[in-house]
Amino acid sequence: MMPAIRYMRDTMQDTKIRTAVVGAGKMGAIHAKVYSQLPHSDLVAVVDVNADRAQRLADRYNCLASSDCADIIDKVDAVTIATPTVTHLQLAKIFIKKKVAVLIEKPLAANVREGKKIVALAKKKNTVVAVGHSERCNPVAQAIKRLDIEPKFIEANRISPYPFRSTDVGVVLDVMIHDIDIILSLAASKIKRIDAVGVNVVEEKEDICNARIVFESGCIANITASRLGLRTDRRVRLFSKQAYLSMDYLKKSGIIIKADPNINVVKWIQDHKEAGDFNLTTVNWPDLLHIEQLHIDDKEPIRLEQEAFLQAVTDRGHMPEVSAQEGLAALECAQKILASVKKNKWSEKIDYDT
């Protein structure tokens, strides 16, 4: 770990972490903005292969611009890599070898083999590596986490119009991986089986996919992702012994129906059935249930993500919101989904005579 970080542990109020962003595109610009606002961050550089683009973003925050990571390697303590997925391993290696902490935008790498190399190198160099699964920091996901429930069934839908970006990967690695990461953290169990189907329409890779994941614990997850929708829809439903949840990531809202307070309702129904005077038409079912609006903090996900990352850098007793190992687990699950999609590939030839 770099001397500046060791020093910061004792003088956190005086010393800032020297941060940088690699990649000056849309996501890089968001990360740069947040780094510039965090009290313990000193944004010192922006790097992009397009020197003009790097300069424009650097000018916005009065920091160094470069087109070569080598120019900043000795000037930073922590960096965010927000570049195309195929470059993640190459760029991460540059910084991890120098023990510079790295936050890599999701997914961790282009494939599991490359993801394992990043995880192994981080372990060897004892360096913090986080993965930018920012949806884990979505206030909705944070609210679910605080409930600490054991799900038995999870249904997630993530649908949006065509984004005209991230075309180097299909919808599984671009969009579905958000829900894969959240579901793996909630299920907290090994995967037993995956069945998936997908189809490509615009790109060579899948644009629509549905996957069913069966965990060894008995939990089942059903995930649908599409980047060809007519509107944006991001919802998750969760069933457990403790409660039923229905959440909307976009509206940052949700309801929870708890099981225990409804025990008297069940008895009331049974008693009326036994008495022979149970008339369904007279019952307003929602009135009988214990329904709560879930309290959701309206905090910026990437800010929470970066705060957790920088805290892990300054105090190794803390973990980033999504570690490299968790990012790898999501990548491994995504690869299994893609393998199932390939196995269940639809026939390209349609016989109209049958």
The pTM assigned to this predicted structure is 0.84
pLDDT bracket for residue 132 (50, 70, 90): very high
Of 25, 71, 26, give the one whose Cα is nearest residue 44.
Answer: 71
pLDDT bracket for residue 11 (50, 70, 90): very low
Quote the CA–CA distance of 322 and 320 in Å, as a whole number.
5
Half-sphere exposure of 170 (CA within 13 A, CB side): 23
The answer on 228 and 168 residing in a single domain is yes
Q: Which pLDDT does position 304 carry in this prediction?
A: 93
pLDDT bracket for residue 260 (50, 70, 90): low
Give the mean pLDDT of 268-293: 71
Number of domains forming the structure of the chain: 2
Asked which of 10-14, 77-81, 142-146, 187-191 is least confident by mean pLDDT, the reply is 10-14
Instruction: Give a yes or no: residue 198 inside a domain.
Output: yes
Which range scores top for mean pLDDT: 54-68, 166-180, 248-262? Answer: 54-68
Are the C-beta atoms of 246 and 237 separated by less than 8 Å?
A: yes
Mention every residue, 6+ apart, whose C-beta is less than 8 A from residue 174. 163, 166, 227
Judge whether residue 337 has pLDDT over 80.
yes
Give the mean pLDDT of 258-280: 67
The answer on 188 and 76 residing in a single domain is no
The answer on 295 and 202 residing in a single domain is yes
Judge whether residue 161 has pLDDT over 80.
yes
The answer on 307 and 293 residing in a single domain is no
Residue 262 is classified by DSSP as G
Of 18, 50, 14, give the one whose Cα is nearest residue 35.
Answer: 18
Give the mean pLDDT of 264-290: 69
| 286/132: higher pLDDT | 132
Instruction: Give a yes or no: residue 157 inside a domain.
Output: yes
The answer on 231 and 113 residing in a single domain is no
pLDDT bracket for residue 298 (50, 70, 90): confident
Give the mean pLDDT of 92-101: 98
Quote the CA–CA distance of 172 and 166 in Å, as a whole number.
11
Packed helices 177-187 and 139-147: angle between N→C axes, nearest 10 degrees: 10
The answer on 150 and 128 residing in a single domain is no
| 87/298: higher pLDDT | 87
Judge whether residue 8 has pLDDT over 60.
no
The answer on 122 and 40 residing in a single domain is yes
The per-residue pLDDT for range 32-42, each reduced to its tens digit, is: 999 999 999 99
Give the mean pLDDT of 343-347: 79
The answer on 114 and 150 residing in a single domain is no
pLDDT bracket for residue 234 (50, 70, 90): very high
Q: Which pLDDT does position 130 carry in this prediction?
A: 98
Packed helices 177-187 and 324-343: angle between N→C axes, nearest 10 degrees: 110
Q: Which pLDDT does position 149 carry in this prediction?
A: 83
Judge whether residue 165 has pLDDT over 90.
no
Instruction: Give a yes or no: residue 354 inside a domain.
Output: no
Are the C-beta atoms of 187 and 332 separated by less than 8 Å?
A: no
pLDDT bracket for residue 166 (50, 70, 90): low
Q: Which pLDDT does position 169 carry in this prediction?
A: 81
The per-residue pLDDT for range 102-129, each reduced to its tens digit, is: 999 999 999 999 999 999 999 999 999 9
Average pLDDT, the chain: 88
**CATH value at residue 249:** 3.30.360.10
Q: Which pLDDT does position 15 carry in this prediction?
A: 80
Q: Burial of 95 by CB count in 10 Å (0-12 exposed, 13-18 middle, 19+ buried)?
A: buried
Judge whether residue 313 has pLDDT over 60.
yes
Instruction: Give a yes or no: residue 223 inside a domain.
Output: yes
Tokens 């990352």, located at residue: 309
**CATH value at residue 42:** 3.40.50.720
The answer on 188 and 107 residing in a single domain is no
Of 111, 95, 116, 6, give the one whose Cα is nearest residue 45.
Answer: 95
Instruction: Give a yes or no: residue 329 inside a domain.
Output: no
Are the C-beta atoms of 113 and 207 separated by less than 8 Å?
A: no
The answer on 159 and 278 residing in a single domain is yes
Q: Which pLDDT does position 147 carry in this prediction?
A: 82
Packed helices 26-37 and 301-314: angle between N→C axes, nearest 10 degrees: 60
Give the mean pLDDT of 323-350: 88
**Cβ neighbours, 10 Å, residue 316:** 12
Residue 87 is classified by DSSP as G
3-state DSSP of 99-111: CCEEEEECCCCCC
Q: Is the peptide bond before 107 cis (omega within 30 degrees of 0)?
A: yes
Of 191, 187, 189, 166, give the one whose Cα is nearest residue 176.
Answer: 166
Q: Which pLDDT does position 243 carry in this prediction?
A: 84
Judge whether residue 273 has pLDDT over 80.
no
Q: Are strands 208-215 and 220-226 parallel, antiparallel or unpaired?
A: antiparallel
> b vs e for 266-293, b when ≥16 Cβ sit within 10 Å of the residue's Cβ?
eeeeeeeeeeeeeeeeeeeeeeeeeeee
The per-residue pLDDT for range 320-333, each reduced to its tens digit, is: 999 999 999 999 99
The answer on 282 and 151 residing in a single domain is yes
Q: Which pLDDT does position 3 carry in this prediction?
A: 41
Instruction: Give a yes or no: residue 224 inside a domain.
Output: yes
The answer on 141 and 130 residing in a single domain is no
Domain, as residue range, for 243: 136-299+334-343
> Which three-class secondary structure state does DSSP give residue 339?
helix
pLDDT bracket for residue 259 (50, 70, 90): low
Q: Hey, what are 102's tokens?
A: 């790295």
